[in-house]
Amino acid sequence: MKPLSVLAAFISALIPFSSAQSSSSGSPCSAPSSKGFRMKHGFETVLVQPFGCDGFRVRAWPFKPPAGNEISFLYDPPLEGFENGKAHGMSFDTTSTGNTSVELRNGKILMRTIGGTYQYNTSLAFYRVEDDGSESLLLNEYSPTKSKNPRYYEWNGPGSEFYAEFAWTSDPTEQIYGTGQQQDHMVNKKGQTIDLLNFNSYIPTPMFMSNRGYGFVWNSAAEGRMEFGPFRTRITSDASSVVDYVILTADKGDYDGLQQKLSAVTGRAPTPPDWSLGYLHSKLRYENQTEILLLANNFKKYQIPVSLIVIDYQSWAHQGDWGLDPGLWPNVSYMAEQVKKITGAEMMASLWPSVEDASENYLYMQANGLLSATRSGPGTTDSWNGSYIRNYDATNPEAREFLWNTLKRNYFDKGIKNFWIDQADGGALGEAWENNGQDSYIESLPYALPDVLYHTGTQKSTGKLYPWAHQQAIEEGQRNATDTKPGSACEYLSLSRSGYIGSQRFCSMIWSGDTTAVWNTLALQVSAGLSMAATGMGWWTLDAGGFQSDPTVSWSNNIDEPQYRELYVRWQQWSTFLPFMRNHGSRACNHLHAFTCDNEPWTYGAQNTPIIKSYIEMRYALHDYVKAVFAQFSKSGRMIMRPLYMDFETTDSKISNMVRTNTNATTQQYMFGPRLLVTPVTLPGKKEWDVYLPQTKNGNGTKPWTYWWTNQTYAGGQTVTVPAPLEHIPLFHLGSRGDVVSGNVF
Ligand SMILES: *[C@@H]1O[C@H](CO)[C@@H](O)[C@H](O)[C@H]1NC(C)=O
Ligand SMILES: *[C@@H]1O[C@H](CO)[C@@H](O)[C@H](O)[C@H]1NC(C)=O
Ligand SMILES: *[C@@H]1O[C@H](CO)[C@@H](O)[C@H](O)[C@H]1NC(C)=O
Ligand SMILES: *[C@@H]1O[C@H](CO)[C@@H](O)[C@H](O)[C@H]1NC(C)=O
Ligand SMILES: *[C@@H]1O[C@H](CO)[C@@H](O)[C@H](O)[C@H]1NC(C)=O
Ligand SMILES: *[C@@H]1O[C@H](CO)[C@@H](O)[C@H](O)[C@H]1NC(C)=O
Ligand SMILES: *[C@@H]1O[C@H](CO)[C@@H](O)[C@H](O)[C@H]1NC(C)=O
Ligand SMILES: *[C@@H]1O[C@H](CO)[C@@H](O)[C@H](O)[C@H]1NC(C)=O
Ligand SMILES: *[C@@H]1O[C@H](CO)[C@@H](O)[C@H](O)[C@H]1NC(C)=O
């Protein structure tokens, strides 16, 4: 079967966004060989459909057929592909009982089952068809004899939902990139086992790229597990009514091509508002209107630019009021107006999903079924500071609308138009322990999380939807209020602690959660961000300086201690080269025995203020570059933070091996956009730092890398030691600095 290239070229001309493919992936999408293939054998049915560009969508179920309207994170039809605006639904035109060999082709990807007359082999195998016609194996189902079937089901509950385990063959050299956010120092996830359970600072997401040249999406809202063993990749789902996944391919090494195709099926980011590319300031916590106005005046006094000022939690009278306590915030519109006038900044306020029974909204929400409950009976999902709480049910459209209407009345209409959806992880409040602040709390889970009940189902079957739906609530509300369409440029934003497959389609940043203020945690955030990028969630940020003290480190988070000041400066300078530059934390200090000490740029010692200020100014100086990088991400899914394999796997023969073993160069260095190589200093007391400079395309015999601070140039393919005094983050650029600063880089 040859790709129908002439027809494909004609069709692709009709498809929006197709021009965006030129820079990254090779050929345009080709016509598939069939509408779909249904294999029905025994109790099981498997449906395989061509999907998007060079991809397939597979659905499988035992016994009871799915209704076809199950929760899905996929666009049907995808944004790009051969579909030309037509949804696939459950359509197919080829059938088999599994006893015949069947082949399906969609552009570069081929699916084949073996069949056979004696013992049917119903395994699915996927190949990439190379330009010379040869086939490269991408993934085939793991089916040695005397083992569980690669598509395995169990019924553990009283209903018809099943537990599923799907397995594929792998080998120790396969490399896996993505899977959301963990705190594990791994860019290559091979060997890792990841629970599909959301916690503060963990955003496990079953979507990844392989160095074999495929992208994979496990399209399920269920909790479960991902296992990347040496010879077997296995994904499980705790409770489902259908198994649903997408596999798609691009030429080996073409990760931009994979991201383009993945984002075309899961979510393409809009463009962020210009203001959000500046410095975003926050701390735990400004307690009242007077403090915020003082803060704005101080930014002016120190002549430090700021683009967002944030009000953290406990600014409400009761949880679930979704409004500021009027005793502390007497005139919100006046405050927002003054902040704008003094600094030009927007404002953002925190909200928690929890509603306590003393809240003015509790009874209405309870009576109207807008709160989640638990399978075991009472409504408690968690507790906080002694109060009984239940989370609003983000999966219920009526609850989302109620939440938004409340936020609009109390904040948006008064000038606070951006929302920080904290504790958004779902289940309880996203912690492994109860939030009561007991001294001896439980730090990890010895038993199951509360099995919460939602509009869409149980925590086990649909819990992974919760943060996504919570982001959706703010997105829909802001879209409604600004009369703009999904996908169009964002005027305002949310900031979320979690997300899920494709949530980059919303005007929503994700930050890495409540991190500890120690060096190792700083280092861990680099690989966390790179994995989020490879999962498609490019709008990533963190708490510069770390969020909370590590109780075992005396100086941790203490703004008066020199050790912490050094860590803060290193972390803050790194944040200049993240998609969003954001400062937040629950700081300690010596004069107050408290955790709400100062966190402003001028509070880390007189000698550090100019350094901190210089990076904030640098961020504004790089505005055009950052904007261009975001625009490209929006257009084609081209990643903003770029692990070294993205750009150099094919030009530098050392990279693949370095990534395989997760060497520091590949877990702590990355390209920020196409031109800047960023290497944060992650150890104290350093005056110089080693950086691996990759071999670039056509780089042999030239010195393509320029050190930002000295203008010295270097050849690629070597590790260099550069001066890195506290005021200088190791930063290299490709091409001219003028092009970087003007954003003339694509
Ligand atoms: C496959 O099974 C179907 C239905 O049982 C039967 O009609 C068909 O002849 C079989 N084909 C082969 C090649 O065995
Ligand atoms: C089934 O076919 C696949 C190739 O698609 C092969 O790798 C596997 O070994 C076969 N399984 C059995 C049990 O024959
Ligand atoms: C605002 O908070 C500050 C710091 O806690 C406090 O000193 C001040 O009295 C408060 N002002 C008002 C008006 O509540
Ligand atoms: C808020 O402040 C503005 C400007 O000073 C004033 O006009 C308005 O009446 C105030 N509103 C309230 C509710 O105090
Ligand atoms: C708990 O609530 C009380 C009053 O409701 C408040 O004074 C206190 O600061 C709160 N403590 C925490 C840890 O939130
Ligand atoms: C946005 O508007 C649509 C159409 O009126 C409505 O269905 C939806 O509930 C609104 N969303 C929110 C969060 O208010
Ligand atoms: C660079 O030159 C070396 C030695 O001549 C050669 O082995 C290597 O393949 C070249 N690399 C590239 C990317 O051209
Ligand atoms: C990698 O980085 C970590 C944290 O910065 C450091 O502890 C470790 O020594 C480094 N390892 C190597 C091989 O440089
Ligand atoms: C490096 O070059 C840039 C222009 O590209 C210039 O602005 C800067 O001052 C130079 N830095 C040094 C240390 O020479």
Nearest CA to ligand 5 atom 6: 385
pLDDT of 745 above 80: yes
Nearest CA to ligand 1 atom 13: 100
Out of 66-70, 156-160, 224-228, the most confident range is 224-228
Overall average pLDDT of the 668-695 stretch: 98
pLDDT of 436 above 90: no
Residues of 634-655 as b/e, b for ≥16 C-beta within 10 angstroms? Answer: bbbbbbbbbbbbbbbbebbebb
Is residue 189 domain-shared with residue 254, that is, in the same domain? Answer: yes
Nearest CA to ligand 9 atom 12: 710
Torsion of Cα atoms, 66 then 68 then 71 then 75, to 10°: 140
The CATH number that applies at residue 687 is 2.60.40.1180
To the nearest 10 degrees (0 to 180), the angle between helices 609-621 and 562-575 is: 10
Torsion of Cα atoms, 443 then 444 then 448 then 453, to 10°: 60
Is residue 494 domain-shared with residue 473, that is, in the same domain? Answer: yes
pLDDT of 438 above 80: no
649 belongs to a structural domain: yes
Q: Which pLDDT value is given to residue 120?
A: 76
Ligand 6 binding pocket includes 486 (Cβ within 6 Å) = no
Q: Tell me how far the alpha carbon of residue 341 lies from the centroid of ligand 4, in angstroms.
A: 16
Is residue 643 domain-shared with residue 627, that is, in the same domain? Answer: no
250 belongs to a structural domain: yes
Residue position matching structure tokens 């006094």: 301
Q: Which residue is catalytic, options 54, 238, 254, 422? A: 422
Closest ligand 1 atom to residue 100 Cα is 13
92 belongs to a structural domain: yes
Ligand 2 binding pocket includes 122 (Cβ within 6 Å) = no
Q: What is the DSSP string of 666-704?
A: HHH-EEETTTEEE----STT-SEEEEEEPPPTT-TTS--
Backbone φ and ψ for 684, nearest 5 degrees, come out as -80, 160
Is residue 483 domain-shared with residue 562, that is, in the same domain? Answer: yes
User: Which candidate, 663, 664, 670, places its Cα nearest to that of 642?
Assistant: 670
Q: Tell me how far the alpha carbon of residue 244 lies from the centroid of ligand 1, in angstroms.
A: 27
Mutation probe of ligand 8 site: the residue of 682, 689, 719 with most atoms within 8 A of C-beta = 682
pLDDT of 12 above 50: no
The secondary structure of 94-148, three-state, reads: EEECCCCCEEEEECCEEEEEEECCCCCEEEEEEEEECCCCCEEEEEEECCCCCCC
CA distance 38 to 43: 13
Is residue 608 domain-shared with residue 547, that is, in the same domain? Answer: yes
Which of 580, 604, 633 terminates a domain? The answer is 633
Let me know if 422 is a catalytic residue: yes
Domain hosting residue 699, numbered range: 8-23+638-742
Nearest CA to ligand 8 atom 1: 664
pLDDT of 264 above 90: yes
pLDDT of 742 above 70: yes
Overall average pLDDT of the 452-480 stretch: 96
pLDDT of 623 above 80: yes
- pLDDT tens, position by position, 513-541: 999 999 999 999 999 999 999 999 999 99
Predicted confidence band at 160 (pLDDT cuts at 50, 70, 90)? very high
The CATH number that applies at residue 429 is 3.20.20.80
Q: Tell me how far the alpha carbon of residue 644 lies from the centroid of ligand 9, in angstroms.
A: 26
* CB 103, CB 112: distance < 8 Å: yes
Is residue 149 domain-shared with residue 252, that is, in the same domain? Answer: yes
Nearest CA to ligand 6 atom 5: 480
pLDDT of 299 above 90: yes
Q: Tell me how far the alpha carbon of residue 709 lies from the centroid of ligand 9, in angstroms.
A: 8
CA distance 135 to 450: 47
Give the closest ligand to the alpha carbon of residue 319: 5
Q: Which pLDDT value is given to residue 197?
A: 94
pLDDT of 671 above 60: yes
In angstroms, what CA-CA distances link 530 with 186, 203, 526, 590, 640?
9, 13, 6, 36, 9
Q: Which pLDDT value is given to residue 23?
A: 34
Q: Tell me how far the alpha carbon of residue 182 lies from the centroid of ligand 8, in angstroms.
A: 18
- pLDDT tens, position by position, 689-739: 999 999 999 887 899 999 999 999 999 999 999 999 999 999 999 999 999
Q: Which pLDDT value is given to residue 638?
A: 98
pLDDT of 444 above 90: no
The CATH number that applies at residue 228 is 2.60.40.1760
Higher pLDDT, 85 or 137: 137
Which of 265, 297, 315 terminates a domain? The answer is 265
Give the closest ligand to the alpha carbon of residue 328: 3
Ligand 6 binding pocket includes 480 (Cβ within 6 Å) = yes
- Give the helix/strand (H/E) hosting 519: helix 519-534
Max CA separation in the chain (angstroms): 83
364 belongs to a structural domain: no
CA distance 610 to 582: 18
Predicted confidence band at 382 (pLDDT cuts at 50, 70, 90)? low
pLDDT of 383 above 90: no
Is residue 626 domain-shared with residue 607, that is, in the same domain? Answer: yes
184 belongs to a structural domain: yes
Which of 265, 296, 327 terminates a domain? The answer is 265
Predicted confidence band at 237 (pLDDT cuts at 50, 70, 90)? very high
pLDDT of 13 above 60: no
Number of alpha helices (DSSP H) and beta strands (DSSP E) in the chain: 16, 39
- pLDDT tens, position by position, 570-621: 999 999 999 999 999 999 999 876 678 999 999 999 999 999 999 999 999 9
pLDDT of 628 above 80: yes
30 belongs to a structural domain: no
Is residue 198 domain-shared with residue 293, that is, in the same domain? Answer: no
Q: Tell me how far the alpha carbon of residue 231 lies from the centroid of ligand 2, in angstroms.
A: 15
Is residue 580 domain-shared with residue 493, that is, in the same domain? Answer: yes
Q: Tell me how far the alpha carbon of residue 397 lies from the centroid of ligand 6, in angstroms.
A: 8
Average pLDDT, the chain: 92
pLDDT of 384 above 80: no
347 belongs to a structural domain: yes
569 belongs to a structural domain: yes
Question: Above pLDDT 70, what percent of the chain?
Answer: 93
Q: Tell me how far the alpha carbon of residue 61 lies from the centroid of ligand 2, in angstroms.
A: 21
CA distance 565 to 576: 17
Nearest CA to ligand 9 atom 7: 737
Q: Which residue is catalytic, options 514, 543, 647, 652? A: 514
Q: Which pLDDT value is given to residue 386?
A: 73
Ligand 5 binding pocket includes 385 (Cβ within 6 Å) = yes
Is residue 254 domain-shared with residue 280, that is, in the same domain? Answer: no
- pLDDT tens, position by position, 80-136: 998 878 999 999 999 999 999 999 999 999 999 988 766 678 999 999 999 999 999
Ligand 2 binding pocket includes 405 (Cβ within 6 Å) = no
Q: Which pLDDT value is given to residue 296?
A: 98
Is residue 714 domain-shared with residue 730, that is, in the same domain? Answer: yes
Is residue 698 domain-shared with residue 627, that is, in the same domain? Answer: no
Ligand 6 binding pocket includes 401 (Cβ within 6 Å) = yes
Higher pLDDT, 436 or 1: 436
Residues with a CB atom less than 6 Å from ligand 1: 97, 99-100, 117
Q: How many structural domains compose the chain?
A: 3
3-state DSSP helix/strand/coil % of the chain, to nearest 5: 25, 25, 50
Residues of 481-496 as b/e, b for ≥16 C-beta within 10 angstroms? Answer: beebeebeebbbbbbb
Give the closest ligand to the alpha carbon of residue 329: 3
User: Which candidate, 224, 149, 721, 208, places its Cα nearest to that of 464?
Assistant: 224
To the nearest 10 degrees (0 to 180), the angle between helices 623-636 and 609-621 is: 50
Ligand 9 binding pocket includes 40 (Cβ within 6 Å) = no
Let me know if 514 is a catalytic residue: yes
CA distance 592 to 380: 35
Ligand 9 binding pocket includes 710 (Cβ within 6 Å) = yes
CA distance 646 to 654: 13
